[in-house]
Structure 1
Amino acid sequence: MSKGRNLLIHTTGWVLFLVIPIVFSPGPAFSVHTFFGGFMQREMIACILLIAYFYFNVQVLITRFYFTKKYTLYFLIIAGCFMITTLVPFLLLPNHPKFSSPIPPVPQRAEEGSILFEFGHNFFRFSVVTFISLTLKISNRWKQAEQDKLTAQLSYLKAQINPHFLFNTLNSIYSLAIQKSDHTPSAVVKLSSMMRYVVSESNRDFVSLEKELSYIRNYVELQQLRFGDAIELLFFVHGNAGTNRIAPLILIPFVENAFKHGINAEESSRIKVSIEMDHNELRLEVFNNKVFTRGEEEKSGLGIENTRNRLQLLYPKRHTLIITDNKNDFSVSLTIQLK
């Protein structure tokens, strides 16, 4: 959505928010006599405070407290905001004619004109603003998660089926076939399994952890097939995946990054990938020495940054990610609480 359209929607919404209560109010407070009087001034102050609260809630409170599950602190803060939006107009304009002058003899509900009625009126408006701000923020967060997921799916689908990847992998398989190697059938099966996983499984919210690990195994073994003795590779998987599930393609960016930027035919290449499962906890350790120095190195952080965002959205307060980027080596340590 463009900024202009977004601004128009917000402006229209706030105009309706200000006008509708005035147009449909049954009481005398909004008569021609008082429209530009003290009551309207206090209403405008209250509405300005509510607008400020709306954006404060959207930009700060929901992100820092609600999404991090600090619910008690969050509701205490919005309770304080409610008191501010309710009391400040009375403190700024204490001599409101509604309370300092006799109420005109116009038919109205018995409670109208009382402080209790004003409190209830303000509470209703505040609740509506709170509900709308929460709904919008949660909706935007969900859309962002879906967009990041789609971006990850498309990027890795492209990475796995691009001609360069297929050429190198198929060329390695062809070499094995020429040599009549016993590894040829398994290499074809691994590539086929990887393609099937990316196409059919990666569109799910969560997949079997065993399937994700199988994809990583196939990827590592195919890379080893391509580079052979050119790399010193250590690959370990310990523990039982059990019935655990995980977001698809959430681990492979760190493994792929090691092979993409840790292999050079002219230098010694060392890569270590270790995955451990302990009940519902998964630990991933990836290490590679730096040998890649060409222009694409500037893009190396994009996949990892996208994955960092996905982790924050999918596993808030349930993961720890430590990335160490030294001059000569690069390492990743990731821990995820799957349940």
Structure 2
Amino acid sequence: MNKFRQILLHIVIWASIMLMFMFIASGGNNLNYESMVIFGYFGVVNIAIFYINYLITLPTFLNRKRYVWCAIAVFLLVVFGTFIKCGLAYYFYNVVMVRNEGKYVLGFWEYFASASFVSCVFVFLSTVLKFIIDWFMNEKIKTNLENEKLISELAFLKSQINPHFLFNSLNNIYSLAYQKSQKTPEAVMKLSEIMRYMLYESNESTVKLDDEIRYLENYIELQKLRFKDKAYIIFEIEGETADKRITPLVLISFVENAFKHGVATDKDNPITIVLNVTSNKLYFQVINRKSNQNKDQTGGIGLQNVKRRLDLLYKGEYRLNIEDKEAIYNCELYLDL
């Protein structure tokens, strides 16, 4: 809401309150002179006290933690506002000071005490409003900072995926080139397609599930080239995947882990990848036989990375089961799309 609309809204609210009290004081009839004086002139003074405290006194002293000066400023505001009311009261003496049709007349100090109390009420209301708005603003700032931190962390995690994947893929292509394999150019082309997807098509918060599946298929084909078509991989896709979306680069870490730490050349124990979509639920499973030779001495960042991304993006909407047995490694991911 811009400044003009805020000011207009405040004017409308205060005008409505003043008119309502004038109408009530007039007994539901047409507005009379007495109610217009009491709730009109004095209402303006009270509203002025409200905003002087809200816009000047509190921001100047309270926000800077100058509490003593704030108390002094509030006291002076109440006293000054009350003296203005007293001046108005004596100007409209017969309306304000004379009560019960002339039978009772308010004394100065009696009216001063009453007017001071009303001034204090408006100071209190403006202070409460200030604290409420500041609390909401602080919560909004806190939420924005948390969101910015979340976005930064996600960006950092995603930035780790590309170098991690590229490092492993280049090692595979280097192996093909070292063996002078004729499939080295095909492997480079597959890597180019994969990197194009990672760099350009996966920049959105979600991508089409079919695109992510094609990305996995390209990766698997790249791995098959590495093993000279002696890799045994089963990739089963079940259910309706069209029109479904998923956070990009979430599934690849499980597949990459299977090739990196598993045995891909065992015909009797192939790497098995199952992707099943039922309604808006995704089930993804990767099973591989563990290799005793292919150990990642650096510890790897793939699965740690994906676990953190799942926590940030699908909190409460996913379940990850990992079975690390002596010979078999089994990952199962249940995800709400």
Same fold? TM cut 0.5:
yes
Q: Percent identity?
A: 26
**Who is 2:146 aligned against?**
141
Are residues 286 and 117 of structure 1, via their aligned partners in 2, closer, same or farther at CA, if it must alter by over 3 Å? farther
Q: CA deviation at 1:248?
A: 1.3
**Who is 2:283 aligned against?**
283
Q: CA deviation at 1:240?
A: 2.9
Q: CA deviation at 1:269?
A: 6.5
**Who is 2:254 aligned against?**
254
Q: CA deviation at 1:307?
A: 1.7
Aligned pairs (5 A) from 1:173-188: 178=182, 187=187
Report the TM-score when normalising by structure 2. Answer: 0.59
Distance 2:303 2:110 in 1: 66
Distance 1:113 1:243 in 2: 62
Distance 2:269 2:298 in 1: 20
Distance 1:328 1:118 in 2: 72
Are residues 154 and 117 of structure 1, via their aligned partners in 2, closer, same or farther at CA, if it must alter by over 3 Å? same
Aligned residue pairs, count = 247
Query: Which shows bigger deviation, 198-207 or 253-262?
Result: 198-207
Are residues 170 and 191 of structure 1, via their aligned partners in 2, closer, same or farther at CA, if it must alter by over 3 Å? farther
Give the secondary structure class of the aligned counterpart of 2:291.
Answer: coil
Are residues 229 and 317 of structure 1, via their aligned partners in 2, closer, same or farther at CA, if it must alter by over 3 Å? same
Q: CA deviation at 1:191?
A: 2.5
Residue type of the partner of 2:138? I
How far does the alpha carbon of each residue in 1:291-327 deviate from its partner, in whole angstroms, 9 at most, with x for none? Answer: 2567625613x32222222222222322222223334
Pick from 106, 117, 120 the counterpart of residue 113 of structure 1.
Answer: 120
Give the secondary structure class of the aligned counterpart of 2:243.
Answer: coil
* Aligned residues of 2:150 and 2:312 also touching (Cα < 8 A): yes
Q: CA deviation at 1:194?
A: 0.5
**Who is 1:158 aligned against?**
163
Q: CA deviation at 1:249?
A: 0.7
Q: CA deviation at 1:253?
A: 1.1
* Aligned residues of 2:253 and 2:303 also touching (Cα < 8 A): yes
- Structure scoring higher RCO (CA < 8 A, sep ≥ 6) equals 1
Are residues 113 and 199 of structure 1, via their aligned partners in 2, closer, same or farther at CA, if it must alter by over 3 Å? same
**Who is 2:299 aligned against?**
299
* Aligned residues of 1:238 and 1:277 also touching (Cα < 8 A): yes
Residue type of the partner of 1:161? L
Does 1:221 find its partner at 2:221? yes
Q: CA deviation at 1:154?
A: 2.4
Are residues 108 and 135 of structure 1, via their aligned partners in 2, closer, same or farther at CA, if it must alter by over 3 Å? farther
Residue type of the partner of 1:248? P
Distance 2:213 2:250 in 1: 11
Are residues 275 and 155 of structure 1, via their aligned partners in 2, closer, same or farther at CA, if it must alter by over 3 Å? same
Residue type of the partner of 2:172? N
Give the secondary structure class of the aligned counterpart of 2:157.
Answer: helix
Give the secondary structure class of the aligned counterpart of 1:18.
Answer: coil
Distance 1:332 1:276 in 2: 14
Q: CA deviation at 1:335?
A: 1.8
Are residues 143 and 108 of structure 1, via their aligned partners in 2, closer, same or farther at CA, if it must alter by over 3 Å? farther
How far does the alpha carbon of each residue in 1:91-148 deviate from its partner, in whole angstroms, 9 at most, with x for none? Answer: xxxxxxxxxxx9995997764434x964763464144224313431x22332233233
Report the TM-score when normalising by structure 1. Answer: 0.58
How far does the alpha carbon of each residue in 1:36-79 deviate from its partner, in whole angstroms, 9 at most, with x for none? Answer: xxxxxxxxxxxxxxxxxxxxxxxxxxxxxxxxxxxxxxxxxxxx
How far does the alpha carbon of each residue in 1:18-43 deviate from its partner, in whole angstroms, 9 at most, with x for none? Answer: 33895498531899xxxxxxxxxxxx
**Who is 2:203 aligned against?**
203
Aligned pairs (5 A) from 1:94-105: 105=112
Unaligned segments of structure 1, at least 5 residues:
1-13, 32-101
Are residues 291 and 107 of structure 1, via their aligned partners in 2, closer, same or farther at CA, if it must alter by over 3 Å? farther
**Who is 1:27 aligned against?**
74
Residue type of the partner of 1:153? K
* Aligned residues of 1:190 and 1:222 also touching (Cα < 8 A): yes
Give the secondary structure class of the aligned counterpart of 2:272.
Answer: strand
Distance 2:255 2:111 in 1: 76
